Amino acid sequence: MDLNFSQEEIAFRDEVRSFLDTRLPRHLADKVREGAHLTKADMQEWHAILQQRGWLASHWPKEWGGPGWTPIEKFLFENECAQAYAPRPVPFGTHMLGPALIKYGTEEQKRRWLPRMLDGSDWWCQGYSEPGAGSDLAALTTSAVRRTDERGECYVVNGQKIWTTLAQHANMIFCLVRTDPQAKKQEGISFLLVDMKTSGVEVRPIITLDGAHDVNEVFFTDVRVPAENLVGMENKGWDCAKYLLTFERTDIAGVGQSVAALSRLRQLAGTVHRGGRPLLQDPLFAARLARVEIELENMKTTNLRVLASAARGAAPGVETSILKIRGTEIRQEITSLNRRAMGVYARPLPEASPGDGQSPGLSAPQGAASAAAQYFNQRKLSIFGGSNEIQKNIIAKMMMGR
C-alpha cells in the first residue's frame, strides 16, 4: 500500500501548476471562482491557451495531437485545473467525440474532424436525449433513413433532441439516430455527425429554473446528412455511445471542483457572521462542513483507487457509477452549504444582487449573487450523464445480476 504519487507524477503536477500560474487568465479564474456565466469567447480563449501547450485534447494519444497522458496524469491535470479555478473545457468535441472517433472513425474521418476540434474550427454538441428517451436512452426515435440522391449516398434525419448543452454555440452535433426501427432497442441505433447549418436543423432555447440558458431543444426536419458522416457501422452506434460515455472516468467524481469549492466555502464561512460570530464557529454549520469534508477525503481515495486500477488497464466496473453518484452528491452538498452561508442574501437575483460592484457600500458576502442560482443549477449533476437512479441500477445489476 502506497498512497503517494511517484517522483515523476509530482514533477508533472508541478509542471501543470506552473503552467496555470502563468497562463490561466485572471479574469477567467475570477469568473469560475464566482460561479459567473462563461461566454463563448471565454471558453474559446481558454481552449486556445490549452491547445498552444498541447493540452486541450487531454484524452488523446500523441499521434493525433494529444499529450498521451496516463489516467493518473489526466487526473492530476484536471485536479490542478479545478483547484486553480480554470474553466472546464467544453467536453463534447475533444473529450467525448474525439476519443470515439479515434477508436471507431475511419482514417478519413479522423483526419477531417480531429484537427478542427483542436484549432476551434468546430464547436460540437451532443444529441443523445429525446423527449421520450431520457433515462431510457435506447428508446430514442429520431430516425435516419438511408437513400441515394443526386449528391450521393445520404441519411435523411427527422426527430427531436433535448437538453442539448450549449447547442446555441455549436456548428456540429453528434447524434444517436434510429436506422432500423424493426430491430431490438439497442441494435437499430447509429452514430451520425450532423452539420447544424444544414437546412431543417432548428435550435430552441430551454431556460432553466435559475434563469440560465445552457440547454436547448434541437429539431430535425428532413435533414440531409452525407453517408460519410456515419461513425462506426450502421446499427452499431450504441457501442460507440457507450464507449464515449465511459471515457470520463478520471474526472466524473469532480474531486478537484469539490476541493476548490470547499476551500472557498471554508473561507466564506470564516468571514460571514451569524449570531455575532463567524459562521465557521457556529457548531451546527461547522458540523455540516465537517461531514462533507470527511466524505470528500474518502472520495479522494476512492477516486485514486479507481484511477490506479484504470492505469493497470482493468475494465471499468461499478466504480464509474460510484464516483458519479457520490461525487455529484458531494458537489451538490457544497453548493447547498454555500447557499446556506449567504443567509438572507441568498435571495437577491444574480444580476440584481447588491454588493457586487453596482451598489457600493452594500454588505452582501462575496459570491452571494450567484450562490442560490448555482445551487439550483447544480441539481442537474444528479440528473444528466445517466441519472443517479440509472447509476444505482447499474451497480445493483453488476452486483446482483438480473
Partner 1 sequence: MNFEQSSEHKMLADSLDRFLSENYSFETRMSIVQRGDGFSLDIWTKLVEIGALAALFPEEAGGFGGRGFDIATVFESLGRKLVVEPIMGTMMVGRAIEAVKNEAHRSLLASLMEGDLIAALAHDEPGEPVAPQQVTVSAEHSADGWLIQGRKAVVPYAAVANVLLVSAMTLDGVALILVPSNSPGLSTLPYSVIDGGCAADVIFDRVVVPRDALLAGPGLADSLLEQIQGLGLVALCAEALGAMDVAIRDTIQYLQTRRQFGTELSNFQALQHRVADLVIEIEQVRSAVINAAASLDQLRIPRERALSSAKFTVGRVGARVAEECIQLHGGIGMSWELPLAHYAKRLVMIDHQHGDQDFHLARFMALNGAESACLSRCSRRGRE
Task: Give first-to-last CA distance, the chain, whole Å.
Answer: 35
Site residues for partner 1, window 211-250 (CB under 8 A)? 211, 215
Per-residue interface string for the shown chain with partner 1, residues 115-154, x marking contact by CB under 8 A = --------------x--xxxxx--x---------------
What is the closest distance, in whole angstroms, from the C-beta atom of residue 210 to partner 1 in the complex?
8
27 binds partner 1 (CB under 8 A): no
Query: And the C-alpha cell for 217?
Result: 431543444
Exposed e or buried b per residue across 303-321, where buried means at least 16 C-beta atoms within 10 angstroms of its C-beta: beebbeebeeeeeeeebbb
| By CB under 8 A, residue 183 contacts partner 1 | no
Position 145, amino acid? V
Out of 23, 116, 274, 300, point to the residue binding partner 1 (CB under 8 A).
Answer: 274
Beta bridge partners of 161: 218
Can you say how many angstroms the Cα of residue 364 is from the centroid of all Cα atoms in its chain? 30
Q: Does 270 bind partner 1 (CB under 8 A)?
A: no
Residue 222: CB atoms within 10 Å: 11
Which of 210, 248, 251, 319 lies at the binding interface for partner 1 (CB under 8 A)? 210
Q: Does 376 participate in binding partner 1 (rule CB under 8 A)?
A: yes
Interface with partner 1, residue 276, by CB under 8 A: yes
Nearer to partner 1, 215 or 306 (CB): 215
- Alpha-carbon distance 242 to 213, whole Å? 27
179: left (phi over 0), alpha (psi -120 to 50) or beta: alpha
Catalytic residue flag (residue 248): yes
Minimum distance, C-beta of residue 79 to partner 1, in the bound complex (Å): 27
Kindly state whether residue 300 participates in binding partner 1, applying the rule CB under 8 A: no
| Active-site residue, from 248, 293, 319, 329 | 248
Beta carbons within 8 Å of 248's beta carbon, 6+ residues apart: 91, 95, 96, 385
CA 322/CA 120 separation, integer angstroms: 33
CB-based contacts of 333: which residues, under 8 Å, 6+ apart? Answer: 292, 295
Binding to partner 1 by residue 352, rule CB under 8 A?
Answer: yes
Among 69, 128, 163, 191, binds partner 1 (CB under 8 A): 163
398 touches partner 1 by CB under 8 A: no
Out of 168, 354, 366, 395, point to the residue binding partner 1 (CB under 8 A). 354
Of 81-89, 113-121, 315-323, 367-375: span binding partner 1 (CB under 8 A)? 367-375
Catalytic residues: 248
